[in-house]
Structure 1
Amino acid sequence: MSATAPGDRLVAVGAVVKPHGVRGELCIDCHADSPFLFEEAGRVFLRRPGGRAREYAVLGSRPHQGRMLLTLRGVSDRDAADALRGLEVAVAAADLPEPEEDEVYLHELEGLAVRLPDGRPLGELTGFLFAGGQETWAIRDPEGREILLPATPEFVLDIDLDARVAVVEPPEGLLDLYIKDQQ
């Protein structure tokens, strides 16, 4: 196990939920679409949010009941796996496979300026939530308020990574929940 190299940008892809079995397998809530991500990357980094990351070699991974099971070098029993419960699972951005032509990685969206269809600024995309299988964007408006927007094609109209702008059409009434003086 080693620390990350200075140039490694880590991308959170899930969290350790619990141990699985007695041989050190970890049960992971995974936000990545590919079930092969962990084996392709060959390594993962575990950390507490804001904490120092530790690198682990991936020995194996497999889907299991809507989650991923992960086997790591140096985690060989249930107690060792249980000690990792609640840690964030990340991969180095350099280890991610190239996205398909019409795909983007969530970490590429962080920091985008979010605008309404008429060009008015809504805020900055600061993070993501995953609840009930739904990706939700966390947008920080200029006054510092957080706006939560379901990230569906119906509401996210355009993403321009070169211009660093996303155009969204929030569902009717959503902004009223967050911004009283929108008009």
Structure 2
Amino acid sequence: MFNVGKIVNTHGIKGEVKVLRISDFEERFNPGEIVYVMKDEQPIKLTISGHRMHKGFDLIQFEGYENINQVESFKGCKLKIHEDQLTDLAEDEYYYHEIIGCEVYTNDDRKLGKITEILSPGANDVWVIKQETGKDLLIPYIDGVVTEINIDEKRVVIEPMEGLLD
């Protein structure tokens, strides 16, 4: 199962929950979509009955949960989906879980480390690479730097620009 959000609080008294989105797909929280609330590591299957945006958060309501008392225990829980619910991606697009764990090499076959995290600070993602020794490297996911991605082999090749590896 894959994370698509985290319930950070309730909202109002009619059973809405405030969700911090982890998914890039706008349609992920449309009414009728299925999500799973992970409560005590047990998935609870829920159907979304309502969705709206409020102050940068997704406000979601679930079918059969029309009262704050019914959703109060969901605070802090993750929202997940099954693998078969993943949206198909275009060529040269990847899910975070496909990139995290890949080994990173320079174009001259020097191993830099493993991707442990992906940051989304603005215009492009930044990949955090854990080196065997030393500080983590921050690699921008842009053309000209990332030259090859092989998901099957969990291998990424980069062309480091000047100062990137210092």
Give the alignment's TM-score, normalised by structure 1: 0.70
**2:138 is equivalent to residue 149 of structure 1:** yes
Which has the higher mean CA deviation after the structures are superposed, 50-59 or 91-100? 50-59
Please say if residues 31 and 51 of structure 2, whose CA atoms lie closer than 8 Å, have aligned partners that are also in contact. no
Residues of 2 paired with 1:71 and 1:172: CA distance?
49
Residues of 2 paired with 1:121 and 1:33: CA distance?
30
Residues of 1 paired with 2:113 and 2:31: CA distance?
35
Change (3 A) 1:157 1:81: farther
Please say if residues 138 and 146 of structure 1, whose CA atoms lie closer than 8 Å, have aligned partners that are also in contact. no
Give the CA deviation at 1:170: 6.1
Among residues 36, 48, 58, which one is paired with 1:68 in the alignment? 58
**Which secondary structure state, in structure 2, belongs to the residue aligned with residue 36 of structure 1?**
helix
Change (3 A) 1:51 1:173: farther
Question: After the TM superposition, which segments of 4 or more aligned residues of structure 1 sit over 4 Å from their partners?
Answer: 129-136, 169-176
Match of 1:96 in 2: 86
**Which secondary structure state, in structure 1, belongs to the residue aligned with residue 24 of structure 2?**
coil
**2:118 is equivalent to residue 118 of structure 1:** no
Structure 2: segments with no counterpart, 5+ residues? none
Match of 1:6 in 2: none
Give the CA deviation at 1:172: 6.0
Q: For 1:30-49, list aligned pairs within 5 A.
A: 30-39=21-30, 42-47=33-38
Q: What's the % identity of the aligned pairs?
A: 29
**Which secondary structure state, in structure 2, belongs to the residue aligned with residue 53 of structure 1?**
strand
Which has the higher mean CA deviation after the structures are superposed, 71-80 or 96-105? 71-80
Give the CA deviation at 1:101: 2.4
Change (3 A) 1:29 1:69: same
Give the CA deviation at 1:36: 0.6
**Which secondary structure state, in structure 1, belongs to the residue aligned with residue 141 of structure 2?**
coil
Match of 1:16 in 2: 7
Q: For 1:133-144, list aligned pairs within 5 A.
A: 135-142=125-132
Structure 1: segments with no counterpart, 5+ residues? 1-9, 177-183
Match of 2:96 in 1: 106
**Which secondary structure state, in structure 1, belongs to the residue aligned with residue 42 of structure 2?**
coil
Match of 1:181 in 2: none
Q: Read off the aligned partner of 2:141 and give its amino acid letter.
A: T
Please say if residues 123 and 139 of structure 1, whose CA atoms lie closer than 8 Å, have aligned partners that are also in contact. yes
Among residues 150, 160, 163, which one is paired with 1:160 in the alignment? 150
Residues of 2 paired with 1:129 and 1:95: CA distance?
24
Give the CA deviation at 1:11: 1.0
Q: Read off the aligned partner of 1:153 and give its amino acid letter.
A: I
Residues of 1 paired with 2:140 and 2:18: CA distance?
26
